[in-house]
Amino acid sequence: MIFDHEIVPQSIAEPNSFVGLMTLYESNYAKLNHLFPNIKQYDDDRSIKSPFGNDIQLGVNKKTKYTMIISMTYSFEESEIIEYEPNLTIKIYFDSRSAEVIGIGKLSKKNKLRDITYQNKDIINQLWRRNIILNKWLDYIIDCDYSV
């Protein structure tokens, strides 16, 4: 039996294709649902803990009946300055069971994630790059046993 969180989107559909992008959105949703089974009921921000890494800040930005916009990031404190990376804004669609990255926040000068994401102007390629980042990060979070 294969579980939703074991889906490897790039092996199901060709990267940078519409079908691949939709598969990636579905995989993102499945992984978020695995990490946060009751996320639809969240009304406030939360800190997600792991015995192996930095805490993750989960922010609830907006909720409607069928969608939710959240932010997910690590917070790093350096010399009295707090940096948030990767600072992803994610829109969850409960009716279609999909989740997409709709924004990558300001990143530090050290991080080239935003530059890589916006290098190519092709829309599906852009969306693919943004969402593969979320998908791989969710894999890592699941592997590190994070919990709310």
Would you kindly state where each structural domain of the chain is located, as residue ranges? 4-143
pLDDT winner (highest mean) among 8-17, 42-51, 57-66: 57-66
- Report CA-CA distances (Å) from 55 to 5, 46, 67, 105, 134: 21, 10, 25, 18, 16
Residue 1 has what pLDDT?
A: 41
- pLDDT tops 70 at residue 106: no
Report the alpha-carbon distance of residue 116 to residue 128 in Å, rounded: 12
CB contact set of 75 (below 8 Å; sequence gap of 6+) = 54, 55, 57, 82, 83, 84
Q: Token pair of 139, please?
A: 């894999």
Cis peptide bond upstream of 86, omega within 30:
yes
Q: Which has the higher per-residue pLDDT, 24 or 124?
A: 24
How large is the greatest C-alpha to C-alpha distance in the chain, in angstroms? Answer: 48
Alpha carbon distances (Å) from 117 to 49, 58, 79, 105, 126 = 27, 22, 28, 12, 6
Q: What's the angle, vertex CA 121, arms to CA 118 and CA 127, rounded to 5?
A: 65
pLDDT score of 100: 95
Which amino acid, 138?
L
Task: Characterize 126-139 residue by residue with b for buried, 16 or more Cβ atoms within 10 angstroms of its Cβ, and e for exposed.
Answer: ebbbbbbbbbebbe
pLDDT band, very low/low/confident/very high, at 51 (cuts 50, 70, 90): confident
pLDDT for res 6: 57
What is the model's pLDDT at position 18? 80
